[in-house]
Amino acid sequence: VPFHAAMSKPLRYNGSNFFRQRLCLATVSGRSVVITNIRPNDEEPGLRDYEASFLRLLDKLCDGADISIDETGTMLRYTPGQIIGGSNLAHNCPPSRNVTYFLEGLLLIAPLAKQPVSIRLRGVTNGGPDPSCDTFRTATLPLLAKFGLSDELVFKIVKRGALPLGGGEVVLNCPILRVIQPVELLDEGKVKRVRGVAFTARVSPQFAARMVDAARGILNDFLPDVWIYTDPAKGGTSGDSPGYGVSLVAETITRSLKSADACAKIDDIEASGRGNQEDDLGTPEAVGTAAAKRLLAEIDLDGVVDTTHQAIVLYFLSLAEEIKPARVRLSKLSPSAAQMLRHIKDFLGVAFQVREDHGDTGTVVFSCLGAGLKNTSRRTF
């Protein structure tokens, strides 16, 4: 069946994996999607609170979207509307996921809205399986500048919020783009410096210095230019739970960024008395060491972006203008990036060519001719 003839049929998927990717690609491509068997055999079947919250966030940004969930919550039918955007939006994120879970989804659709998006999100800013807000600010947003999204792109952390209660607050202002430029990201270069942020909230500010010392103890063996800022949240800006963590970003001579972060698991420490396992993030030293080792592991994998940001880069390349091929060099693909390639083919009909890189780098070059998606609401003059 030709791709355009199949466009009118809803795409069908099984299971709850890669929920955000499916909904965001459905929204930008205008295709309906049906997701069945969402955790049918779980003790609590159906959508989780953060997935339902993400649906509500999409509903705030879009006009005319039709979302229907059956009574058990195990089947979802989503028909996208127009991406409107707007200012002074606010959204409360459940503490089960970091606010970056919602921010990453927002970044995929906000540049294609009718109006610039200005939104305030409340919830957990540091901790959990998602990247921290510091990593989002220092690594994710600069990556979008390569696609022409830098002017008026503003992100502020108003309040810190650690697990389990959160209580943090962030503000994102995202401009709109008319078209996405096809880019070539092929040379990652050698690392020239490492920057980072060590935050503390409702614990002794001395913890930040201990995390910095531990991280520098590892990184200074490799390069001298390591600078980690300390950010002790005081009073009303410290959220509802105690916590501390560190986010590190390595910058190369070609301005590509690799990031890693680690956050203390305070509730685990309280539950077990005092953790003594190797991987237990129960002391500031353990947190600083873990972040530094994760950063070194990311640098060791070649590729222009780290594993966290592979899916975002592939997504923007697939939407780019059709004037020339877009190319990117990546290391071993993360599961979400591999699935993003499949979803891009399903929703947009864009297939990437994969070519193994010469030499012993272990990287592959992905190239594609973008779908040429245009934001018709943006004036050209």
41-86 residue pLDDT tens: 999 999 999 999 999 999 999 999 999 999 999 999 999 999 999 9
381 pLDDT band, cuts 50/70/90, is very low
Alpha helices in the chain (DSSP H): 3-6, 19-29, 49-61, 99-109, 133-135, 141-145, 206-219, 266-272, 284-300, 310-319, 335-348
pLDDT of residue 371: 92
C-alpha 38/C-alpha 55 separation (Å) is: 15
Say how many residues make up the chain.
381
pLDDT of residue 107: 94
123-144 residue pLDDT tens: 999 988 999 999 999 999 999 9
pLDDT of residue 271: 53
10-41 residue pLDDT tens: 999 999 999 999 999 999 999 999 999 999 99
Which DSSP string corresponds to 198-227?
Answer: EEEESS-THHHHHHHHHHHHHHTTT-S-EE
Q: Which residues, 6+ apart, have CB-to-CB distance to 6 below 8 Å? A: none
Tell me which residue of 63, 69, 106, 95 sits closest to 82, measured CA to CA.
63
Q: Chain-wide mean pLDDT for the chain?
A: 91
282 pLDDT band, cuts 50/70/90, is confident
The pLDDT of 325-348, averaged and rounded, is: 94
pLDDT of residue 266: 77
The pLDDT of 326-331, averaged and rounded, is: 94
The pLDDT of 191-206, averaged and rounded, is: 95
